[in-house]
Amino acid sequence: MRRRPEGVLLRLTALGAGLVLLAACGARGDTPPSPDVDSAEPPTAAGRTVGPEDAATAFGTLKELDDAWKARDCAKVLFLTTAAENELGGRGCDATRSGRPVPSRPTYRDAEFYVPDRPEETPWFVALARDPDPAYTVFVQEDGHWRVAYGPLKLTTDPPELDADVTTRVVPTDDPDDGVRARLVPQKHLTYLSDRYGLTGITFPSTDPVRLLLKELIKKPATVRPDRLSYEIQLIPDDTRALALAGGGALVFHSFKIFYTQKSTTKNLKHPMYSSTTTKAFTATTTPKSLHTTEVVQLATKVTPTGKLTTIALSRTLADITL
């Protein structure tokens, strides 16, 4: 497979122990046949360098995951996922056995891979599929098996240009430039979406999906009256991954949950957030008095050297409904 310089990778640890900026290489090619879980690569020694060929093989995990969802094989769904994507298995998959439609997505092809060029304690890489629509996916290797951590995240705008000239370097947590800005992206989203009056000074472009999400959240209680609805945002704890960009800045992959609490003011809820079929699949009832609903939002966010935030890719998926 042909190798060519494509960009650099920036890794941020959830505990803030350090941020590592890594040079990367990219490659394009057709998606290989999906390997079975039983024939997955054996565990590798710590610090193995992942090459484009490894990434191309690991990309087949997406097809395995799609097949597992179609078969309603919930154990395999959990096995093939980690981080934010793992939040969508469990009860979300169990509900497909009780009438919830199986999540569907296109078969992604023509992928570019962004792979660290130095050994990683936890090997990982980012794929940008071009067909049928551009979408990012983050893969992480755990216990010798490749798992989907984020995505596929469909792009909402053109992908930013990656930095192809920076050599491998370590970025400490107190770095005043890209490292700190990238590390703060998840917290800025939490602050922004919790600030209905716009007092924090954090902004997004007028048509940005995150800005539209805030508007939706503010208006949503009025759409379910006479029911009462409240919501809370919570970050999903995990490594935040990011690509370093040309001219400075980063493309940050991160996620959060939206927890909704909906209560009836009469006998039963008048306007449940999801259809009766979906609600029943999760709760075994179509006449609940209250519901607790969880959605998982996964994002790729561009942060500029001046701290400006723009959403590049996003997915929003129902994860759970309980009484």
How large is the C-alpha radius of gyration of the chain?
20
Position 245 pLDDT exceeds 50: yes
The pLDDT value given to residue 31:
40
- The token pair at 26 is 């990219």
Cα–Cα distance for residue pair 36/15, rounded to 1 Å: 33
Interval 178-203: pLDDT, tens: 778 889 999 999 999 999 899 999 99
Position 147 pLDDT exceeds 70: yes
Q: Which of 65-74, 120-129, 206-215, 280-289 has the lowest mean pLDDT?
A: 120-129
Interval 69-92: pLDDT, tens: 999 999 999 999 999 999 999 999
Position 25 pLDDT exceeds 60: no
Cα–Cα distance for residue pair 140/125, rounded to 1 Å: 7
Whole-model pTM? Answer: 0.84
Q: Which residue has the tokens 């935030």?
A: 309
The pLDDT value given to residue 263:
98
Position 135 pLDDT exceeds 80: yes
